[in-house]
């Protein structure tokens, strides 16, 4: 088990690299969105994967992994932000150099399909990473809180999620303290049985997803339940499940019924309603940082910032 390490905060003038470790992306859209980073005084370096297409991937597995390894190795790069998710990070997990990553800790940021890499890097390198909005999320009419996430990388602050951000509902009463882990349900399920399987023992697990029909979520949540992921957790945060509605199967269980069957039944303190994931705003979460959740005051509070001062 690795001792946890945090990346250093950013300073104006630092270089941030943008990569596409999963699906290909509209390069011009990324360039336009990168102005948000430039306004913070950061220099932006675009990876070659932003110009690559290999089927639905942003280049071959070798190309995407090589770029990510090179960005961690480059001392001039202080943070790595993923342009988008989609699909493909699980394909490159075996090609990453985790000793290199641990020896060169820096901010790694993304969500959705990036969940697989969060799990892999956290468990194989012991590095705190960030589940947060990617550049394709920074388009027109972006929520101020979504943009504000990036400011915490320059001016470190402690995540304190209260109902001022969004209404929270208690599913199982209680309090829990543990390291934050989790992300996209589809990707968490895909880690099972691999060397990168998400470890939830004594931790606060947060989950989210998008465009998954209830029966598909039922299948994945059942798999996670049978793998002990909910029973092992100290507490559970049910985040945004955007457009997870019946389509193929119109007669359906509700999400509430599915959560009751697989999550509430574990009996662990559980809150729902967090704006984390495929939603607006999309609040960033430092993965690996110890936090306290309480259903009594409906809060999630990290014990420290996700970056070193």
Give every residue of the chain whose pLDDT is below 50, as ranges. none
pLDDT of residue 139: 79
Residue closest to 44 by CA, chosen among 80, 89, 85, 87: 80
Active site residues: 112, 208, 278
Find residue 270's DSSP bridge partners: 172, 236
Residue closest to 276 by CA, chosen among 217, 207, 181: 207
pLDDT of residue 1: 65
Are the CB atoms for 159 and 276 separated by under 8 Å?
no
Within 41-196, residue ranges assigned H as helices are: 61-73, 89-92, 98-103, 115-125, 144-151, 185-191
Find residue 127's DSSP bridge partners: 5
Q: Residue 199 and residue 212: Cα distance in Å, rounded?
A: 23
Are the CB atoms for 73 and 45 separated by under 8 Å?
no
3-class SS string, 24-67: CCCHHHHHHHCHHHHCCCCEEEECHHHHCCECCECCCHHHHHHH
In tens, the pLDDT along 77-109 reads 999 999 999 999 999 999 999 999 999 999 999
CB atoms closer than 10 angstroms to residue 136: 17
156-190 core/surface letters (b: 16 or more CB in 10 A; e: else): beebebeeebbebeebbebebbbbbbbbbbbbbbb
pLDDT of residue 248: 85
């Amino acid at each position: 088990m690795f001792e946890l390490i945090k990346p250093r905060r950013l300073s104006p003038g630092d270089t941030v690299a943008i990569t596409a470790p999963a699906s290909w992306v509209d390069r011009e859209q990324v360039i336009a969105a990168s102005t948000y980073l430039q306004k913070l005084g950061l220099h932006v370096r675009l990876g070659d994967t932003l110009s690559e297409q290999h089927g639905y991937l942003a280049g071959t597995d070798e190309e995407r992994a090589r770029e990510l390894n090179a960005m961690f190795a480059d001392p001039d790069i202080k943070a790595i932000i993923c342009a988008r998710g989609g699909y493909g990070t699980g394909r490159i997990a075996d090609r990453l150099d985790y000793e290199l990553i641990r020896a060169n800790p820096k901010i790694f940021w993304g969500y959705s399909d990036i969940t697989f890499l969060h799990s892999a890097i956290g468990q194989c390198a012991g590095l705190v990473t960030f589940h947060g909005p990617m550049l394709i999320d920074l388009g027109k009419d972006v929520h101020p809180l979504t943009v504000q996430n990036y400011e915490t990388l320059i001016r470190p602050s402690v995540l304190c999620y209260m109902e001022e951000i969004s209404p929270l509902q208690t599913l199982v009463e209680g309090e829990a303290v543990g390291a934050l882990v989790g992300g996209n349900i589809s990707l968490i399920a895909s880690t099972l049985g691999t060397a990168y399987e998400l470890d939830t023992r004594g931790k606060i697990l947060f989950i989210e997803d998008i465009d998954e029909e209830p029966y598909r979520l039922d299948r994945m949540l059942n798999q996670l339940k049978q793998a002990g992921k909910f029973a092992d957790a100290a507490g559970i945060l049910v985040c945004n499940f955007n457009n997870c509605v019946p389509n193929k199967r119109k007669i359906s269980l509700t999400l509430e019924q599915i959560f009751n069957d697989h999550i509430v039944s574990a009996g662990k303190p559980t809150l729902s309603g967090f704006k984390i994931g495929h939603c607006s705003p999309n609040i960033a979460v430092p993965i690996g940082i110890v936090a306290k959740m309480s259903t009594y005051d409906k809060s999630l509070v990290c014990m420290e910032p996700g970056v070193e001062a």
